[in-house]
Amino acid sequence: MDQADVVILGAGAAGLFCAGSLAGQGLRVVVLDHARDPGEKIRISGGGRCNFTNLGTSHQTFLSEVPRFCASALAGYRPEDFVALVDRAGIAWHEKAQGQLFCDGRATQIVRMLVDRMGLAELRLGVAVQGVTPGMPLRVETSAGPIEARHVVVSTGGKSIPKVGATGIGYDIAQATGHRIVETRPGLVPLTFAQQDLRLSAPLSGVAVTARASLPAAKAPRRAAVAFDDQLLFTHRGLSGPAILQISSYWRPGEELTLDLHSGDTAQALRQAKREGGRVQVATVLARLLPERLATAIVAEEGLEGARLADQPDARLGALVRRVHDWRIRPVGSEGYRTAEVTVGGVDCRDLDARTMASRHVPGLHFIGEVVDVTGWLGGYNFQWAWASGHAAARAI
């Protein structure tokens, strides 16, 4: 029988990091992945430059049914710790916005750094994990035959982007071994519109605007009100851009989103322009505040094409202002796991120990990274969770 001290299932961000944190302890560590290369999601992340952490990481930048669950692991391994690792590896980086740290060069540098850091751990690629049988030792079924170990770390990630190797195997393993699963859904994903809403948005495909996307508080499932200020991008299927990706992780099918397309005071700008000489067209004034194509489309929708500002009663302009600052839209869905950056939900944190990521039901079994019901905002938080949870499990082993 093939045996190891620790078998890590998945050579993604969390699995590679956990293996590296176990290096030098004299343990026989085996890392399994069905892909041809390790760290495929790291390679494609951050537009190929890997947004490897966020300096503003806190438990408040994550979604989870147990909001404080991630705090302990995040405190045990901080963004600064990962930055020190990156610096030691000589990888150049820069801060883009809001604490988001990216490589100057290719994301593959991070993959190489993580693989080097694994030391003597054995990386077995092209091996599909099929299941785990509890017991001591635990037994892992794989396409290359079974392997036994005292510790098994499940780091098989979520369901997003099957094209780069994602499967739901981690959830299946968790469920089959007595763990609850918080319902999974695509997160950080573009939202799609019904045909009638596409009438306005599809012709605007490619237009970007700084906006606020918000959702009100909800009772079931319970959620506080949430809002994100960032770029919004019109697509031929609906909406994308960071503001929409962020809110998509909170959005539930059937819910209405509120969009504020201008951070300034549109009513005041219209009043001022009217005072200064109302011969100007409504569309001209609005195009000073919004991208021209967007301003033209909104004006047309409000029936104000070619209309002079001076001729408009306040009520008419009020409707226009509401359309800019309080646009209510009910997406019909999302682009799904095909393009989602993450999977929201996962292994229920109530079934795991927050300090060690160990199962409360199966001795020796750990869950780390995206497979756990801990989902970060856009901006490097998800990798920080992968590093921190991998580190926590390694420390406990």
Residues within the interface to ligand FDA (CB under 6 A): 10-15, 32-35, 40-41, 44-46, 50-51, 128-129, 155-157, 160-161, 165-167, 169, 341-342, 369-371, 380-383, 386
| Residue 32 or 113 having the CB closest to ligand FDA | 32
Q: How far is the CB of 87 from ligand FDA (least distance, A)?
A: 18
**Distances from the Cα of 319 to the Cαs of 291, 310, 366, in angstroms?**
19, 16, 55
| Residue 157 or 364 having the CB closest to ligand FDA | 157
Residue bearing tokens 């080097």: 116
Provide the 3-class DSSP secondary structure of residue 316.
helix
Q: How far is the CB of 341 from ligand FDA (least distance, A)?
A: 4
| Residue 273 or 378 having the CB closest to ligand FDA | 378
| Residue 259 or 349 having the CB closest to ligand FDA | 349
Distance from C-alpha of 352 to C-alpha of 368, rounded to nearest angstrom = 10
| Residue 15 or 345 having the CB closest to ligand FDA | 15
Q: Give the angle 89-91-93 at the CA atoms, nearest 5°.
A: 140
Q: How far is the CB of 377 from ligand FDA (least distance, A)?
A: 9
| Residue 193 or 383 having the CB closest to ligand FDA | 383
Q: How far is the CB of 329 from ligand FDA (least distance, A)?
A: 25
Residues contacting residue 10 through CB under 8 Å, at least 6 positions apart: 31, 32, 33, 129, 154, 155, 156, 157, 170, 369
Provide the 3-class DSSP secondary structure of residue 161.
coil
Q: Comparing C-alpha atoms, which of 231, 272, 192, 260 is closest to residue 96? A: 231
Q: State the SS3 of 76-119.
A: HCCHHHHHHHHHHCCCCEEECCCCEEEECCCCHHHHHHHHHHCC
Using CB atoms within 10 Å of the CB of residue 2, give its burial: 0 to 12 exposed, 13 to 18 middle, 19+ buried.
Answer: middle
Q: How many CA atoms lie within 13 A of 60 on its CB side?
A: 3
| Residue 285 or 368 having the CB closest to ligand FDA | 368
Q: Which residue lies nearest ligand FDA, judged by its C-beta? A: 12
Q: How far is the CB of 58 from ligand FDA (least distance, A)?
A: 15
Q: How far is the CB of 65 from ligand FDA (least distance, A)?
A: 18
Q: How far is the CB of 293 from ligand FDA (least distance, A)?
A: 28
